[in-house]
Chains A and B, each alone.
Chain A
């Protein structure tokens, strides 16, 4: 069942600059993680996506980007799934 998700994660990691990715379900539980990402952050990612979605309820699925000097984290929720991608360097 998770083969498809595994394939997607492998595909994501082949993109240059991407160091890790994590997927969580609607309960904030980790359904997949690859690369430099921690399964423990799945709940937080999902909570962030839920909170940010409340800012503009009419517009669906905002893309959230957290940046520091050397890496960025991109979060998006679609349906029940929340995905977060860690990228080295800023966008």
Chain B
């Protein structure tokens, strides 16, 4: 089943030029699933980097704009898009010139996969 999910996600990201990898993690940055292309960089995949999303979401909640849905970070080389699907977090690592709007549009496509995975993670937390 995992292989099938990975294949689906890979097909999905190959349609968006510039996306290097997709990581599905829990809120502590522990990897549940990783789908890479050849050019995927290692640095943004560290749990230390990924887990900062949970902190950012908590801080973002204080802005009074409601629950934080997405976090977009633009660095000189990379662009990181993280989506709040707690208990899961979806991270897209892409080239800085990548189409952010297109990545955001993948949210709906990736949701069915997440519902399967979040069940597994939810049970583990209980």
Contacts and interface: CB of A to CB of B under 8 A. Distances in A.
Contacts of A24: 101
B126 interface: no
Contacts of A42: 101
Interface residues of B, number: 10
A73 interface: no
Contacts of B105: 40-41, 43-44
Nearest to B96: A27
Interface size class of chain A, counting residues whose CB lies under 8 Å from the partner chain: 10 to 19
17 contacts: A24-B101, A27-B99, A29-B100, A29-B101, A29-B104, A30-B101, A40-B104, A40-B105, A40-B108, A42-B101, A43-B99, A43-B101, A43-B102, A44-B102, A44-B105, A46-B99, A50-B99
A47 interface: yes
Contacts of B102: 28, 43-44, 46-47
B16 interface: yes
Nearest to B102: A43
- Could you tell me the dominant secondary structure of chain A's interface residues? helix
A48 to B, nearest CB: 10
The 4 closest A-B pairs by CB, nearest first: A43-B101, A28-B101, A43-B102, A28-B99
A41 to B, nearest CB: 7
Contacts of B103: 43
Contacts of A44: 101-102, 105
Interface string B89-126: 00000000011111111001000000000000000000
Interface string A17-58: 000000010011110000000001111101100100000000
A80 to B, nearest CB: 12
Contacts of A41: 105
A66 to B, nearest CB: 16
A35 to B, nearest CB: 19
A27 B104 contact: no
